[in-house]
Homo-oligomer: A and B are copies of this chain.
Amino acid sequence: MAHHDLQTVSHECGDCPIRHRAVCARCEADELQRLEQIKYYRSFQAGQTVIWSGDRMDFVASVVTGIATLTQTMEDGRRQMVGLLLPSDFVGRPGRPTAAYDVTATTDLVMCCFRKKPFEELMSSTPHIAQRLLEMTLDELDAAREWMLLLGRKTAREKIASLLAIIARRDTHLKLKSAKGSIVFDLPLTREEMADYLGLTLETVSRQVSALKRDGVIELEGKRHVIVRDFDKLLEETGDDTDGGYLV
């Protein structure tokens, strides 16, 4: 099959990761059409549960707008967040029938869903989708392992700084450290959610956020609005290697 002009085409929902490398506009058009056919949108209100751990999950999806969390809960109620889904992040595992975690909308949320069965078929007929998914999954794995270091070895203050740095980075699309200018963002999580993410209690989170503010690392307007005037200063608090870039 001859390939024609090279260009990137993406199906219409913004940053959705289920899009193709630049291959061949014609072949892509085909696949995109098939994607469109199995795709639908779902909206959730802040606080709503998207799916419970163990439930049958017959779709895969990507976040269009809003924020969702993945959490695990122990019988006695101890909770650990194991993932934070921002726009363009992907949820769901082809080949797995049930959800492995609770997925919850922490803000109003729109997801772009693909019915799983046809998605899997599409996947096996178009190899680069599997490769794209593999790449994304490897990224998630790296992030999870980075988080293991945080949970196992960082102090409360370092944990808070790391979380703030990650959110700041994600919000502003800076991949590495950016020295210039202030970064301003709204915390998408309550203190309790931050605690569940960091393996702390909400009181400790509150105290450490106050401490970072007192020490001039961050500024706060209200409880959620954060201003970082000197990102490097924040990075120093994370305990991470600062010179080698973020993901070594």
Contacts and interface: CB of A to CB of B under 8 A. Distances in A.
A140 interface: yes
Contact of A148 (B82, B95, B133, B137): B82
Interface residues of A, number: 49
Interface stretch (A73-81, A167-175, A184-192): A73-81
Nearest to A141: B141
Contacts of A140: 141
Nearest to A82: B145
A94 interface: yes
A93 interface: yes
A152 B54 contact: no
A186 to B, nearest CB: 24
B141 A72 contact: no
B151 A152 contact: yes
A153 B199 CA distance: 6
A153 B82 contact: no
Interface of A: 53-54, 70, 72, 74-76, 78-80, 82-83, 93-96, 98, 100-101, 123-124, 127, 130-131, 133-135, 137-138, 140-142, 144-149, 151-153, 198-199, 239-241, 244, 247-248
- Return the 8 tightest CB-CB contacts between A and B, nearest first: A152-B199, A151-B151, A127-B127, A82-B145, A144-B144, A80-B149, A78-B153, A80-B152
